[in-house]
Structure 1
């Protein structure tokens, strides 16, 4: 046993690595301002009958506004059908209360362009609303933008009821060979049948055009962006995608997609800096609030991290993850502050994911004040072995991973380090905390403090280093509360758990060591520790 002095030294050393920080330390986000001059789209020939395609009138209003020095382009109350809208500098596109900007489901009006897809350069259809290289832009008001996503997206049979599936199939479209996925057109199915190739002649992409779904709002290399009050819904793919942008503000924005929408993310901030997401609502088909920075070699070559972002006072309903980093994070992520958010019914709560090949460093992530209910998977997840599939298996699918063998370190090895997570509650999850690193690169320097987590499984910690849990309640129904495998320098301080648990901790793996259980009443467990033959006999030290 170590001496009391030795324990104190170890604890102080661990605490020193978790220095508190505040969003006040970040640069102030610059918010755009606009002239009051207003152009209503109806004055330029737009008709709110749901039949007239108003693309030309809307884009003409935006052009006139920017050429006049900027101002407001007003979308009045009514149903306005349009093709792709292109934003311009110094323009605030304002949707009045009761305005519905309905993007057409005619895929042919969206031209193929050079853009990106999931963090890599790609040919895709032009986004319903987009801007490149702009400054001082906004979309505001109380109206709704609808991306006509049903014209683009595939649907898995397992995500619908029997009646919903029959109705969808009867509406048209085609099924794959397994008859378990519906596609809106044969061209869409053709594109899904094999990976899309890069660097091909345009005729190749024209042959699979319907498959190349656009993101709904695409902003690239823009500065001073404001999205406020509006609702974005029914996107073909990702809903909101700022890329390489600076000074981004989202206030009281709602993003809605069907829960079964493939790639139907809410917000994806990619290689962006200086941002605020405040009082927003997400109810989508993939990740809710997601931070990215490019994929694999292209992301590392770009080398632009997402940094200096504050997310606060926001809600996520259905989503694969409530607040998410990755898996395309090859340019790095740093200096993020997340506070006072609620996740209700998401597959995962706090979801940090990456994979071999990504590279990149995610660090200095601060989370404080998260409340969760009905989480289907993990309340808190660090996963460096992301398998690019739904976080909760569909019926008949397995979520088990193959045996992970170590690989040499390289620029393609990702890193998760320096996270602080405080004041978290979760009522209902499959697993409270899952930390899963790689044999060659552990998840490092994680502090989780003041948490009450009700779940089936408690802590599962694999390939991790310098992990500290302090004042954490793991209220589990599983027979084993905590599992530690090939992890070292683990401090478990003031752990509370369900009375009469069969086993408090199971330790496995020859690389496990320096695991400390402090200030914890172990008498409520039938057995305190069980150690596999592969683990060192002295891997655990306890002190009250």
Structure 2
């Protein structure tokens, strides 16, 4: 009896506890459901507020991340020690020792001039430009000098023309180039020098050309704009391992110089609205190398010149023995590499190899006109890559821009012995356009190993007039009828027709 009573009590207690747990569970379930419902209600009721809070939180995190990245970049730029400046001359000076302040506002012309005067007095030396923004008016270099631009150093050209020296026109131009009379000199200038080096740890020379370009467009200037760097009548010149940007006019202009090396430079200006901002313009130079460089500018990347019309003919100093290699260029206005149009003193023995021109109007161009006189001969283009270029190869003989009316209309240039090999490309509208004339025929042109993907489906994609020459082996696209066709062994396969006219449908 007692055992059954205990069993009955135990069963009763178990049922009671089970009912209690069920009630507790149902109570908890109702509480959870009420909680979820209240949270849901709260979210719907305060949706705009929560969205606003989430947006603000996200923006705060984004701003924090961005400022953190900026701090890291700033730290990397300034806190990480720069490479020590090498001692390249026995005598070394620091620009700061002459009172220069690199704040981008203080004018440091006197400091540059005093340091260079001391280098000249010592017979040579090295001027170190440390990190900072060193505003200056134009100044002159001296012989046996190295100008060294440290990492994060910037030489800034003052953009007020009243600080820029006026100089006589170049003798082979007889004209300021844009206006008659005197011209502005360059930011960094040198004449009759020997053994000059401009180098660095990729420091920058910045011409701040924006003001100049605007005034030029609005015709507010009375004289021709000045180059960024111009070295004249000098020898043994090196420009290496620096960036040059935003020149008022041509960027680097070696004039009547011998033994010049320009290597590992970056040259930048806007691709539009930066008029006449050529990258490098060798002018009446002999024995010059341009290599391992990147050029993206508002006119020709490289333009080889030798004087303008009767002035260039009288000056009579050609550009010769020039090697351009391992260069990437971009120009949406003109060409990657040009010869001319000022070539009146003659241009010969030029090699352009391993050149990439991308997203540009033209790749390589020879331009001249009646009245130029002179010659363009013995020119070799090899291993040229065209990527999205409107016109690949251009020879133009009617570039009629003259200094004045005193030019000799019977001074006809000679274009002879031009070779193109290893030409590759994609997205090219017109691969070749060679337009000689009855007055100025183009002779002895050779094409070999040309394969260019075209984007222009009309007939005349290889355009010729008054041109004589040959094609060796198969090329694409098919050449014009003006050229003899030879096989790879040099055997004549097809002789050119005598037709020297073409139905031109594109103005290059």
Contact 1:133/1:222, CA 8 A, preserved across alignment: yes
Question: Offset at 1:318?
Answer: 2.7
Match of 1:67 among 121, 143, 147: 121
Aligned to 2:292: 279
- Mapping 1:378-527, distance limit 5 Å: 378-387=391-400, 412-455=411-454, 456=456, 457-474=460-477, 483-484=480-481, 487=482, 490-493=483-486, 518=494
Question: Offset at 1:450?
Answer: 0.3
Match of 2:344 among 319, 330, 333: 330
Contact 1:338/1:366, CA 8 A, preserved across alignment: yes
* 1:144 pairs with 2:204: yes
Q: Does 47-56 or 453-462 show the bigger shift?
A: 453-462
**Unaligned regions of 5+ residues in structure 1, if any?**
1-32, 155-172, 174-180, 192-207, 390-408, 475-480, 496-515, 520-528, 536-544
Question: Offset at 1:385?
Answer: 1.5
Aligned to 1:236: 248
Contact 1:34/1:91, CA 8 A, preserved across alignment: no
How far apart, in 1, do the equivalents of 2:399 and 2:289 lie? 27
Aligned to 1:370: 384
Structure 1 residues 464 and 302 mapped into 2: Cα distance closer, same or farther (>3 Å)?
same
TM norm structure 1 = 0.69
Aligned to 1:128: 187
Aligned to 1:312: 325
Select the structure with the greater relative contact order (CA < 8 A; seq sep ≥ 6): 1
How far apart, in 2, do the equivalents of 1:341 and 1:254 lie? 15
* 1:92 pairs with 2:92: no
How far apart, in 2, do the equivalents of 1:54 and 1:533 lie? 60
Contact 2:340/2:366, CA 8 A, preserved across alignment: yes
Structure 1 residues 458 and 492 mapped into 2: Cα distance closer, same or farther (>3 Å)?
farther
TM norm structure 2 = 0.73
Question: Offset at 1:115?
Answer: 3.4
Contact 1:245/1:271, CA 8 A, preserved across alignment: yes
Contact 1:444/1:467, CA 8 A, preserved across alignment: no
Partner of 2:428, secondary structure, is coil
Structure (1/2) with the larger helix percentage: 2
* 1:57 pairs with 2:111: yes
RMSD: 2.7
Contact 1:119/1:293, CA 8 A, preserved across alignment: no
Question: Offset at 1:135?
Answer: 0.6
How far apart, in 2, do the equivalents of 1:229 and 1:531 lie? 51
**Unaligned regions of 5+ residues in structure 2, if any?**
1-86, 177-181, 403-407, 503-508
Question: Offset at 1:306?
Answer: 0.3
Question: Offset at 1:338?
Answer: 1.3
Bigger Rg over Cα: 2
Q: Does 327-336 or 449-458 show the bigger shift?
A: 449-458
Structure (1/2) with the larger strand percentage: 1
Match of 2:306 among 263, 287, 293: 293
Structure 1 residues 532 and 147 mapped into 2: Cα distance closer, same or farther (>3 Å)?
closer
Q: Does 50-59 or 465-474 show the bigger shift?
A: 465-474
* Residues 330-357 of structure 1 deviation map (CA, whole Å, 9 limit, x = unaligned): 0001111111111111211111111111
How far apart, in 1, do the equivalents of 2:286 and 2:352 lie? 15
Partner of 2:151, secondary structure, is coil
Match of 1:39 among 93, 107, 121: 93
Deviation >6 Å, runs of 4+: 529-535
* 1:253 pairs with 2:265: yes
How far apart, in 2, do the equivalents of 1:298 and 1:429 lie? 37
How far apart, in 1, do the equivalents of 2:308 and 2:252 lie? 18
Question: Offset at 1:111?
Answer: 2.3
Contact 2:172/2:311, CA 8 A, preserved across alignment: no
